[in-house]
Structure 1
Amino acid sequence: MASKAPPVGSRLRHVGWAAALGCALAGFLALTFHVNAIKSEVRLAERKIIALQREKLMLETEFQTRASQYQLSNWNRLEFGYAAPRADQYLESERQLAALGSPRGSNAPEPVKFARAETVADEGMFADWVSPLTGRSLSDEARQAAGEDAAQLAETSGATLAQRLARGAMASPGAEIGQ
């Protein structure tokens, strides 16, 4: 049996189908790219619309705020007699501010100088810890420091501010060098 060659029309048909399929695929890809380009333009337009709506809302809010500021300014001026501060009303230093104050009255309470509250947790917190420098327990050192603070407070509580500052200047290392 001899093999038969395929007819020429059959080959031409296969090439035609391949060309038609290629054209259809090319058209499909072109159409897909075109649709995606239009979708991205729509998304950009939607984003611009949202941005413009936000800007419009912000401008409306600012307009309402400025309108209410104008109304408040009118109320302050007409109803309450308020006015904007003038340049001569500003203070240049803390001394000018202090000069505006009045001295403390004779029946005014003393200002709070020191306040400390010890809690139950403070006493037992470091009970089993030992200081690496002294070898004593930290709770003993904390009690000793609290005693020193109390003694120092008792020592300085009766003194005036000028006396305490003078005592601090004498006790400072720089005071010995100057003498």
Structure 2
Amino acid sequence: MTANARMLQIGWLVVLSLGFAALLALTFKVNAVKGQVRLVERDIIEAQYARLMLETEFQTRASQQQLADWNAVEFGYSAPRADQYVEHERQLAALGVPRGKNAPNPIRFAMARKPVAEDTTLLPDWLGDEDAPAGDDAEARPAPAASRGGTLAERLARPNATALAAAAEFSQ
């Protein structure tokens, strides 16, 4: 092979390499422009959605009087009056009607005899001696769970006196 033919091959290789590099650069540029187009399309869709929401809002506000007329005539809706408010649960219960003869039984909830804030046996059953709150009736409390042994998970799994009393009351 002659030097001329060798130079011609190297020239073609350089031209093909430059063409491939230009094609690669053009591909990256096209993909970048496509990404920008997608972002602009998303912005257009968001703007159309916002415009639709605003048009709906304007139409609604423009027809407030018509809506008020419909509410008054068709549905009988009106703003609440001062005499329609109740002061406590008994007034609200007085507005109710008695249950029908085929109505299902009401749902009952368990209730502790003492409020939880006053109950000193709730946490000491689960916690050890060091975590138990100090109180006047420390002698009357049952032995702490830590002295009965077991891990925290075992102590939490055991029902305490309050839970047993509530369950017994609920089952009655």
Q: TM-score scaled by structure 2?
A: 0.48
Higher relative contact order structure (alpha carbons within 8 Å, sequence separation ≥ 6): 2
Question: Which protein has the bigger helix share?
Answer: 1
Q: Which has the larger radius of gyration?
A: 1
